[in-house]
Amino acid sequence: MPRFSANLGFLWQDLPLPDAIRAAARAGFDAVECHWPFEVPVADLRAALFDTGLPMLGLNTRRGPEGAMGLSALPGQGPQARALVDEAIGYAEATDTQAIHVMAGLAQGPAAHEAFLETLAYACAQTERTILIEPLNRHDAPGYFLRDAGQARDILTALGSSNARLMFDCYHVARTEGDLLTRLADLLPIIGHIQFAAVPDRGPPDHGEIAYPEVFAAIDRLGWPHPIGAEYRPPGATEESLNWMRAG
């Protein structure tokens, strides 16, 4: 079985982030990741990571104004997008977070493509930490710039930066493209992080259309060495949703 990271954007949302980190450690997770930790004092987050010994695998750039899902691919928003990148990198470096997911936003077309490339090039030049991009499915994020893994691969190829990688979320890939295991094996050389949730309801990985024991076994066979992210919505208390992990 792979090792697992608790995505604290969805798990233990009832707790302050430092307490959620400690809860993840008690539950047996090997790492943690989050969405937008910026309101938490760095010292508090560092203390929780030190107390538990868990690494923080990733965080996101802020989404921007209400209704936005990132600014990085929005033409004319370059300065604002770079400011969000600077904030995320600064917080990541202060907490030794390994990767920054740069959110693209709601945009389409050649100008959006160029804007996203410019923001990503800026991000990659500011840090040696991993810069992640993630396609989001059209059901959950209609109009999001990054629509599928093929588009993401083309962007990474055009970017040509050694620290830019793909966030392969099994949930989003399955809802958009299907053929999950084939896509996983094909894209492995450019993947920087893997996440998962049940399809189609984004619940725990113990039901739905995807047989996650088979997916986890395939990830093992591929030799993936890092914890993979449990980014699902628990139907109730997080502790009551963890039978899938205990069974493993």
Q: Cα separation of 221 and 12, whole Å?
A: 31
d(CA 202, CA 234): 9
d(CA 131, CA 192): 8
d(CA 74, CA 214): 38
> For 193, how many CA atoms within 13 A lie in the half-sphere containing its CB?
32
Active site residue 209: no
CA–CA dist 164, 162 (Å, integer): 6
- Residues whose CB falls within 8 Å of the CB of residue 28, separated by 6 or more in sequence, listed in order: 245
**How many residues are listed for the chain in this entry?**
248
Which residue in 118, 128, 177, 231 is the catalytic one? 231
Cα separation, 232 vs 212, whole angstroms? 13
Out of 39, 134, 209, 240, the active site residue is 134
Contact (Cβ atoms closer than 8 angstroms) between residue 27 and residue 55: no
> What's the rounded Cα separation, in Å, for the pair 227 and 55?
10
- Respond yes or no: is residue 87 known to be catalytic: no
Bridge partners (DSSP) of residue 5 are 31, 229
Helices marked H in 53-169: 78-95, 110-126, 149-159
Residues classed as catalytic? 134, 231
